[in-house]
Amino acid sequence: MKRRRSGHWPKPLGWVAPMGIALIVTAADVGARTFAGPQEPREPGGIRCEACHGELEFLRQQTPTFARARSLLVRSSDLRGSAHDSLTCVSCHGSFDRVPHPPPEERASSTCASCHEAEHAAWAGSVHASGEEAVCSDCHGVHDVLSVATLAEAAGTARMSAACAQCHDISRLPATDPHVDAVACSSCHGGHGIEPLTGAAHAEVASSPETCGGCHDAVLATWRSDVHGRAFLDGVGTEPEGEESPPGCATCHGVHPTRGVEGRDGQRAMVDVCSSCHEEYAESFADSYHGRASQLGLERAATCAACHTPHGILPAAEAASSVSEANVLATCRSCHAGAGEGFTAFQPHANHHDRERYPQVFWSFWLMTGLLVSTFFAFGMHTLLWLIRLGIEGSRPRHPTPASRKEESP
């Protein structure tokens, strides 16, 4: 078929001929580079490999599906900036240095374990290795593997957490979690040696102090000496899972999501957490001025941590306690600057039902309750008798008065 004088191909071959020329040129380039003898790629990322694997249309001609062609499409730009930027294609795909490539049974490509032996050994004993539920490429990708330095940045943290969320979507952190986009999943759960939670929530509680202490070291040091830390360190590993287990970080702050403590909502949430164990004090706190003001949303209202501190909680009998006789006035003055010695006589957790510990509050409560009941009873009886009298008066026949008699006379 001859070309037209206009220089264009006939319409039936308008797109076939240019593509055919491109394929011929590509094939010639591949053949020239491949059969000229063994040679390494001239640039990181493999220019020679990219002659085929950088052309989607060429790969489509050689594969049964478009999805398979897309999976084989690798350009040098995919490796640029990755942790493997300095490697060439044959560094990992060693048996693919000739065309056509050898059959699967003759291929001997390197694996991640070839270079990362320690990481592979840790992964082999993890929960992810059981049944190969997650392999290296599932988390790190294939060609766009991030470097260790990039993983420590915000972009790397977000990407790795997103990779975990692909399988663990139920544990995805909400936007309100203080750790979202700031702490990677691997920071708490480990990078490669992730172990299963054999004891469900109790296992999370048992490991939470050391895990959280990796970032919150100052808080961990304070917590170790308070009542919660002492109970935890004395009973960890011996207490079964349940409400009586010693409290760890996850007991109060949760896991997924972590409860924030900032703002009024965060403070109220922590009051609810304290109340789940300290029910007696929770009831008396709710009846106090602090508790009622907090429930009404007063920003300055004191909550549990305001008086007892968040992590240095000690019994009032110990001198170092924030509510001991030596320190309680200073604690009150943190909110009430003008508080005097008499201010400390206030009993924030006084129980009006406990006559032995709080006799004054007990008798005052019953005195005021008796006075209130007797007053309402007296007024109630007065009202009842008044209504009875009105009923009696209304049922009697009315006698005409002298004035009405004169009006009735002719």
| Chain segment 46-74, per-residue pLDDT in tens | 447 888 888 888 888 888 888 888 888 88
CB atoms within 10 A of CB 318: 11
Contacts of residue 161, defined as CB under 8 A and 6 or more positions apart, other chains included, come to 173, 181, 184, 185
User: How far apart, in whole angstroms, are the C-alpha atoms of residue 97 and residue 89?
Assistant: 9
Q: Residue 333: name the closest of 307, 315, 364 by CA.
A: 307
How high is the pLDDT of residue 40? 39
Contacts of residue 42, defined as CB under 8 A and 6 or more positions apart, other chains included, come to 48
The two structure tokens encoding residue 214: 């990796």
pLDDT tens column, 175-218: 878 888 788 888 888 888 887 766 444 445 567 788 888 888 89
CB atoms within 10 A of CB 92: 17
The two structure tokens encoding residue 35: 């059969």
Distance set, CA 333 to CA 120, 151, 330 (Å): 57, 46, 5
- φ, ψ at 191 (rounded to 5°): -90, -50
Q: Which of 34-48, 102-116, 126-140, 388-402 has the lowest mean pLDDT?
A: 34-48
- Indicate whether 18 pLDDT > 50: no
Please, which pLDDT band fits residue 362 given cuts at 50, 70 and 90? confident
* Rounded average pLDDT over 385-409: 72
Using CB atoms within 10 Å of the CB of residue 1, give its burial: 0 to 12 exposed, 13 to 18 middle, 19+ buried: exposed
pLDDT tens column, 317-348: 888 888 888 888 888 888 888 888 888 777 77
How high is the pLDDT of residue 42? 39
